[in-house]
Each structure stands twice: as structure tokens, then as C-alpha cells.
Amino acid sequence: MENQDKKRNIIIEAALKRFAHYGLSKTTMTEIAKDISFSKALLYYYFPDKLSLYVSAIEHLMQIISRDLVKSIDKTSSSTEGVFKLLQKRQSFIQKYYNLLESSQIIGCELPENLCEKFNKARAFETIIIGSLFNRGITNGEFEMEDPKLTTEIFIDALSGIHFNIMSKDKNIFPEKEQFKQIFLKEKVFAEIFLQGLKPRTQE
């Protein structure tokens, strides 16, 4: 069983590299098998088709991102620094795995239900992280707010609004790289203004 899990992980990691570099449509099972010197039949033993392997690669990536986010934010000295670290990390991951994430939009209505579930879990995880940073800020006297949960929801809704507003100007389903630069810049400026408003009056 341990050997099977090891082979499965090797396949997923190889697929992640391929999908990240070439995207879903330009990657074949044959190429992935060749990268790791496995037979194509072995790949199909673990994954019935390329889409199921893609879903597993996305899930694996989200686990990597989650661990890295928690580790990076734990090292920050303030909640404000933690929020900006989260935005910066999210930007770097999207840039690195742009082709992989764009593919999830290309398959559109064919998006598997379990993949939608994983994206929803990722958003929920981000909500938990931001909420914990706001609560940490309250505890250490950095922030002042009556309803941390509502404040977290407003902050996340506003970030989503920035994304939607930029995308509504074009017909693209998924932002192009230049659009992402606009999104990240506006997210950073918005976060600066929002977090400044949460500081106790004595710190202003």
C-alpha cells in the first residue's frame, strides 16, 4: 500500500509540473508517463482519465499552498503584515501556476463537482486565515472592531469585488496576466486603506 501511495504521489507531482507549464489541454498522459519513466497503463491504473489526474493535481497544489501560507503567516510579527503576506503569497502562487488555474476555467461547465468543492474549500480556508489574523490583531491591540466575523466577510467581499470589477470590463472568464497585475495592485491599496481604518484611534 505504501509503495502504491508513493507511485501515485510521483504521478501527481509530475502532472502538476506539466499542467503548470503547459496547461490542461496541451498536456498528455503519455508525456507525464515519459517524464517519470512510468508506463501509460500504470497512470490509468491510478487515474481513469486526464481530468481526474488534473483534479488530484489541483488538490495537491492547494495542500502545498495551505501549508506554505500557515508557515509564512506564523512568522509575521503583526496581523497587518500577515494580511499583506497572504496577498503576496496568493499573487506569487497564481503567477507560478497560472496555466494550471486557467485550465480550470477553460473546461467551464464540465468542471467536475469535486473540483468545485475543492475551490470552495480553498476560499473557506482563506476566510479562516484572514479571520484569525483579525482576531490576533484585536488581541494584541493592533485592531479594534465590534464584529470580527462581519469585518472578515466585508474584507473578502471587497477583494472579490475588485476582481469582478476588472473582469466585467472584458469578456474573459479568467483574468489575463496583465489583469492580475491590476487586481493585485488594487487589492494591496485597498488592504492598506481598510486595515488603517481598523486601528485604534490612539494609533492614528
pTM exceeds 0.85: no
What is the CB neighbour count within 10 angstroms for residue 157? Answer: 9
**pLDDT band per the 50, 70, 90 thresholds, residue 109:** very low
| Of 71, 82, 73, nearest in space to 143 by CA | 82
pLDDT of residue 75: 92
Interatomic CA distance for residues 159 and 188, integer angstroms: 10
Across residues 35-42, what is the average pLDDT? 94
- Pick the more confident residue, 76 or 204: 76
Residue 15 three-state SS: helix
Across residues 118-126, what is the average pLDDT? 84
Longest dimension (CA), the chain: 67
Query: Residues 124-177: pLDDT tens digits?
Result: 898 999 999 999 999 999 999 999 999 999 999 998 888 777 766 665 556 677
**pLDDT band per the 50, 70, 90 thresholds, residue 5:** confident
Across residues 25-48, what is the average pLDDT? 93
